[in-house]
Chain A
Amino acid sequence: NAGVTQTPKFRILKIGQSMTLQCTQDMNHNYMYWYRQDPGMGLKLIYYSVGAGITDKGEVPNGYNVSRSTTEDFPLRLELAAPSQTSVYFCASTDRGTDTQYFGPGTRLTVL
């Protein structure tokens, strides 16, 4: 089982550029999440989805967009990258039977 996969692993963006962070899970989980992790801070929830076609904002959604067209995929889009979005981004999915969250390996993004 691949679990939760994320691409790319690293990316450097210029201010104002756009990009999509990809996230895929093969565990048939309905619930998926995007977090960012800044130095010295806990993981902060950006967006989450409870199933295909359903998404909602988390604690820090500004500057991001998501979509969920399939159960497997939950991409995160940055439209106009800003230095404040320099962070490590983690995608996760939840097994609702056990409430266990499974995390992807993360994407380290730097905006210069």
Chain B
Amino acid sequence: ILNVEQSPQSLHVQEGDSTNFTCSFPSSNFYALHWYRWETAKSPEALFVMTLNGDEKKKGRISATLNTKEGYSYLYIKGSQPEDSATYLCAFQTGANNLFFGTGTRLTVIP
């Protein structure tokens, strides 16, 4: 069982603020790091799959970076909007079938 830590656990920001959260994972046996967006009463939706140290991915106002040597990934949201309110999950993948999920960061964007 591997430990995947996400911080903070929850976050409230004002509309228009930029924010970021962290996913920490073991620095060994790395295969991939996944980020998901999970809205209440829906299923997790894949945002990014990152495989290389130094990877940076971007989708609209959301971006992510990856440092496999030190075992962390950051997710950034620029100019938060109320529709960004969701739980953001990361998952550390060690092989083709082994994904270990964090408990998520719950983001609330206040209009």
Chain A residues near B (Cβ < 8 Å): 4, 31, 33, 35, 40-45, 48, 50, 56, 59, 90, 96, 98-106
Contacts and interface: CB of A to CB of B under 8 A. Distances in A.
Interface string B10-47: 00000000000000000000001010000000111110
Nearest to A102: B46
A90 B45 CA distance: 12
A50 B44 contact: no
A90 B43 contact: yes
8 contacts: A35-B101, A41-B103, A42-B103, A50-B97, A99-B32, A101-B44, A101-B99, A106-B43
A59 B43 contact: no
Interface centre among A43, A100, A106 (most CB of B within 10 A): A43
A102 B43 CA distance: 9
A31 B100 CA distance: 16
B51 interface: yes
Contacts of A100: 46, 49
Contacts of B100: 42
A78 B96 CA distance: 26
A35 B44 CA distance: 12
A96 B49 CA distance: 12
